[in-house]
Chains A and B, each alone.
Chain A
Amino acid sequence: MPDANVTPSRFCSSNVWSPGNFTSMSAEELSDAEVVREILGGQREMYRVLVRRYQDVLYRHAYRMVGQPDDAEDIVQKTLVNGFQKLNRCRDPERVGGWLFRIAANLCKDFLKSPRRADLSIEGASATVVDRSRPDADLEREELKDRVQQALERLSPEQREAFVLKHLEGRSYGEMTALLGASKSALKMRVLRAREELQTLLKVYHEQ
């Protein structure tokens, strides 16, 4: 039982939270650790602060990994809901963003490994429609992008993740190590394999 002399946390005085009145500057200025503390103290509406801080970066990563907006949206929702339910397991609340990112990254890889996804990829590839009314340059550009997306789908989830983090998110190997927990040399190898795979596939495309 908390001591009666303990100063109440600064948000305990307000019991009413809604999207409309949640414009408090002070809430946005709190550190991640302070926000986590408030949530674990019972202020579940404070989770909105974390959602606002991290939903975009999680969504961009999920989209780059799975390639479809609907799937990326599902993954981000699941990440944020799981993150709330397991928030008391976050060992370093100051880095809750990285912790959420790891949940999302793992869900993306699980999704790419799932048999359902493999079936969808095959169907998706056979359903590509080329719009003949568009200029040649646009068509070529679209075709190249489709080819690259297909090449990315052939990478293992781990290789694709390394490629996305390095080349599409512009992260350093140090950041990647901190996010994924893998060694720098392992990550460099995954990126190299992804580049080689892409280069081979693109070379075949250009020779056609």
Chain B
Amino acid sequence: MNNELNEYLDGDRELEELSPEAQAEADAWRRLTGELKADEPRQAPAWMENAVMSQIALADAPKESLFGWLLRPRTIRLSPLTSLAVAAAAVAVFVLLPDPAPDTQQPGPVAVTQILVEFSLDAPGAMTVAVAGDFSGWETEFALDDADGDGIWTGRIPITPGVHKYMFVIDGTDWVTDPRAQRYSDDGFGNRNAVLAVSPPRSL
């Protein structure tokens, strides 16, 4: 496919920068996508909202986790006397804290070394398997691969040394705990996170 046309379609070039042939092709692409969009529905059918709400009326309610409850913003009312006592306690803690050691060096750039960690999950029948953890902001950006179709999904992911929590995500929706993890911890959502300790390289 014409390279300049691709760059235009990716938004990396202006139409005027293209050759006349590429401009004609770009025009054909615009017409094509315009035709595809012309007759498509703009909105979900009107009955959708109530159909979904009827179904969830019968479904099990999701429960807020302990973790979520702890993080939930709330207003705490204190009497004037209690407020005074809390303020006094805060001042006392501040006064009694030892002075931090004076800085003797300017902070320099810190080299962050990452270690390749191999993940593996036996998940025959899965369409996709990804790893989500605190190292990815719990996003499923690290996809595992099952190139030979044997149901064992593997992949190597660069992770900074330290203790990390993670889970596998099957088909984008099912969060699964690694059955072969080193350790586990309660994730506050009623499940267990797998815990992984990544050691720094010996030279650090």
Residues of A at the B interface (CB closer than 8 Å) are 2-3, 5-7, 19, 37, 39-42, 44-45, 47-48, 51-52, 55-56, 58-60, 63-64, 69, 73, 76-77, 80-82, 84-89, 91-92, 102-103, 105-106, 109-110, 113, 141, 144-145, 148, 166-168, 172-173, 181-182, 188, 191-192, 195-196, 198-199, 202
Contact B64 A55 (CB under 8 A): no
Partner of B56, one of A47, A52, A56, A59: A47
Contact B32 A76 (CB under 8 A): no
- Closest A-B pairs by Cβ, 7 of them: A106-B172, A40-B64, A59-B44, A55-B44, A91-B138, A7-B75, A88-B62
Contact A73 B138 (CB under 8 A): no
Which A residues touch B48, using CB under 8 A? 51, 55, 59, 73, 76-77
Within 8 A of A (CB), among B161-204: 171-173, 175, 189-191
Which B residues touch A141, using CB under 8 A? 35
Give the docked Cα–Cα distance between A39 and B61 (Å). 9
Which B residues touch A144, using CB under 8 A? 32, 35
Contact B1 A196 (CB under 8 A): yes
User: B175: nearest residue on chain A (CB-CB)?
Assistant: A89
Contact B57 A44 (CB under 8 A): yes
Partner of B127, one of A48, A89, A92, A109: A109
Which A residues touch B1, using CB under 8 A? 192, 195-196, 199
Contact B49 A48 (CB under 8 A): yes
For the complex formed, measure the closest distance between the CB of B68 and the CB atoms of chain A, giving whole angstroms: 6
Contact B43 A106 (CB under 8 A): no
**Is B86 at the interface (CB under 8 A from chain A)?**
no
Q: List 28 A-B contacts (CB under 8 A).
A: A2-B69, A3-B74, A6-B76, A7-B77, A37-B68, A42-B61, A51-B53, A52-B49, A55-B52, A73-B45, A73-B48, A81-B52, A81-B55, A84-B52, A85-B59, A89-B191, A92-B138, A105-B172, A106-B171, A109-B127, A110-B171, A141-B35, A145-B36, A168-B36, A168-B37, A173-B10, A181-B141, A195-B1
Partner of A188, one of B10, B42, B65: B10
Which B residues touch A59, using CB under 8 A? 41, 43-45, 48
Which A residues touch B41, using CB under 8 A? 59-60, 63, 69
What range describes how many residues of B lie at the interface? 35 or more
Which A residues touch B42, using CB under 8 A? 56, 60
For the complex formed, measure the closest distance between the CB of A74 and the CB atoms of chain B, giving whole angstroms: 11
For the complex formed, measure the closest distance between the CB of A101 and the CB atoms of chain B, giving whole angstroms: 10
User: A48: nearest residue on chain B (CB-CB)?
Assistant: B53
For the complex formed, measure the closest distance between the CB of B67 and the CB atoms of chain A, giving whole angstroms: 10
Contact B143 A181 (CB under 8 A): yes
Which B residues touch A182, using CB under 8 A? 141, 143
